[in-house]
A and B are shown apart, each in its own frame.
Chain A
Amino acid sequence: MSESLTLQGVHTHIGRYHILQGVDFDAPGGHTTMLLGRNGAGKTTCLRTIMGLWKASRGAIRLGSAPIANLPASAVARSGVAYVPETMAVFSDLSVRENLLLAAREGPLDEARLQWIFGFFPALKKFWLSRAGSLSGGQKQMVSIARAIVEPHRLLLIDEPTKGLAPAIVSGLIDCLKEIKRGGVTILLVEQNFRVAREVGDFVRVMDNGRIVYAGAMAELAEDPQLQARLLGLSLDSHQ
């Protein structure tokens, strides 16, 4: 069953910086929610706080009805959350196979699921035994996403998966994300590319200065150039 992610009044401090300043939003179960905003708005911090990689100094985070705020990252992962960081964080010295083997925490790799993944990313099959560090940026992104879906999860947190990728690869990734969503997984996706956001997202949350400044349906935002301009303008002004 798909489960929603809910954040209520989440604050995060990193050192003396107050990054998240009361974030409230939900990501409905079985849908893809886009988290948009300018650089430095707090999107990555938000994902890392949900994942338990940074501690929330205040507020509640729930997956379904289970509170996950301030659990260690390992406990958050074991509760069914997978994370694809902006840096991809593939283990360069390990082979593609070993990267996926580590992600299959429950035991050996499921052959059928592996074939399903190879359907999206044939390159992974080709370079199965190659060192992940020797792959190109696009191939590393595939490893990173494959690692997140090699076992079924309830929530996927993905941070800018299309950053620096060629358009052909981006199109494939869009299809892949749509397919994952069809499996009933809740996805929270940080993305700077509005075209990707429009194609993949069901809902959108826009962040600025550590707060949510807009929450609505993606279609609504996509069809309203004025709203886009206002939100983008707001971000741009703040940036300047």
Chain B
Amino acid sequence: MSAIDVGAALPRAKIEILPALTPLIVAAIAAPFIGSWSTFATLTLAGLAMGMMIFTMASGLTLAFGMMDVLNFGHGAFISLGAYVATLVFLPLAAWAQADSLMLNFAVFGLALIAAVVVTGAFGFVFERVLIVPVYGQHLKQILVTLGGSIVVEQLLYALFGPEQIPISPPASFNGSFVFGEAAIEKYRVVAMGVGLAVFVAQIVVLNRTRIGLLIRAGVENREMVEALGYRIDRLFVGVFMAGSALAGLGGVLWALYRGQVHASMGGELLVLVFIVIIIGGLGSVGGCFTGAILVALIANYAGFLAPKLALVSNILAMVVVLLWRPRGLYPVSGR
């Protein structure tokens, strides 16, 4: 038996730090224009919280797209559904939500998150089996079918809950602000930031430390080879789609409490932002999605303060600039 050793030619792996630093670079550029340190800190912290919420909603879509190659224009429906599920938890438990007890407040918040995750995850299963399975590999049909599905869900929500916006506020303990010197950040944003960060860390741990995570990462790169290794890719698809739907529902709860209202078209309105984030991040990349979400949210906040008219197009401009610099996004996934 002869040994083959061609170990001399390994190039050094490139460590891509710069894309991860883009939010910092944007903050550094914006700071002198904003002038006041307290305003800058408030805008930045608010942007981070908003970014975490957007990341929570978008991360499921980037994984589903990266792995399953499915253009799910119905992702917004899961965001709306999650928000409505939150109202169903918050309304009967309003006494808990407004009680002067941190424990009860967290209990109702936790219940809303869990209920949204379970319902949207289960709905994701049905959505994938009924709508997505027949159109795998057909992008145009995927757009039509998932868009149609989201319209049906939106109209069902209108029919069930009425066309009015439903007000919803965070539990009593999450009201008010933390003040650091002259900077202030709403307590709820800190909570949302914590949830978003927990979701990010959980995804990184699952993707990098578990076999299922390995399979997902491999599946994003080459679905066919994963199947040729003996794994049921269809089951993995369902699992990833359900997880992505559940994350959208979770994000929907966070967003609804942040905006203080729920309406059936909220998911659809957020969908453009979600797509911008996953394109900026690199389709299929969770790390890229995280960076992209923070970047987009910071730019939106800074632009809203410095040039309110520009805020409307700031996300599109950010995407154009990023794609001119890195055409496949901040952290492109190999094989896609």
Contacts and interface: CB of A to CB of B under 8 A. Distances in A.
A and B held together in a complex: yes
Interface of A: 51, 53, 72-74, 77-78, 83, 85, 89, 91-94, 98, 101-103, 105, 119-123, 126-127, 130-131, 133-136, 138-139, 142, 147, 166, 168-169, 171-173, 175-176, 179
B217 A122 contact: no
Contacts of B220: 93
Interface stretch (B6-14, B30-38, B92-100, B118-126): B6-14
A92 B335 contact: yes
B233 interface: yes
Contacts of B5: 121-123
Interface stretch (B167-175, B224-232, B304-312): B224-232
B7 A139 contact: yes
A73 B228 contact: yes
Contact of B7 (A53, A120, A127, A133): A127
B7 A94 contact: no
Contacts of A93: 217, 220-221, 333-334
Interface string B181-223: 0000000000000000000000000000001001101101110
B140 interface: no
In order of increasing CB-CB distance, the 3 nearest A-B pairs are A172-B4, A77-B230, A123-B7
Interface of B: 1-7, 9-13, 211, 214-215, 217-218, 220-222, 224-233, 333-335
In this complex, which of A85, A123, A173 has the most chain B Cβ atoms within 10 angstroms of its Cβ? A123
Contacts of A89: 222, 224-225, 228
A103 B7 contact: no
A133 B218 CA distance: 12
Contact of A74 (B214, B221, B227, B335): B227
Nearest to A77: B230
Given A102-B215, A103-B229, A53 B9 contact: no
Given A122-B3, A166-B6, A91 B231 contact: no
A176 B3 CA distance: 8
Contact of B227 (A73, A101, A135, A147): A73
A74 B215 CA distance: 13
A119 B231 contact: no
Nearest to B12: A134
A142 B221 contact: no
A94 B334 CA distance: 10
A92 B221 contact: yes
B13 A130 contact: yes
Contacts of B226: 102
10 contacts: A72-B227, A73-B224, A77-B228, A85-B228, A92-B221, A94-B218, A103-B229, A134-B10, A169-B6, A179-B1
A176 B4 CA distance: 9
Given A89-B222, A93-B221, A136-B10, A142 B228 contact: no
A48 to B, nearest CB: 9
Contacts of B6: 123, 136, 138-139, 166, 168-169
B294 to A, nearest CB: 22
A142 B4 contact: yes
A72 B228 CA distance: 9
B1 A119 contact: yes
Nearest to A147: B229
In this complex, which of A91, A94, A136, A138 has the most chain B Cβ atoms within 10 angstroms of its Cβ? A91
A94 B4 contact: no
B231 to A, nearest CB: 6
Given A91-B217, A92-B221, A92-B335, A121 B229 contact: no
A103 B230 CA distance: 8
B4 A121 contact: yes
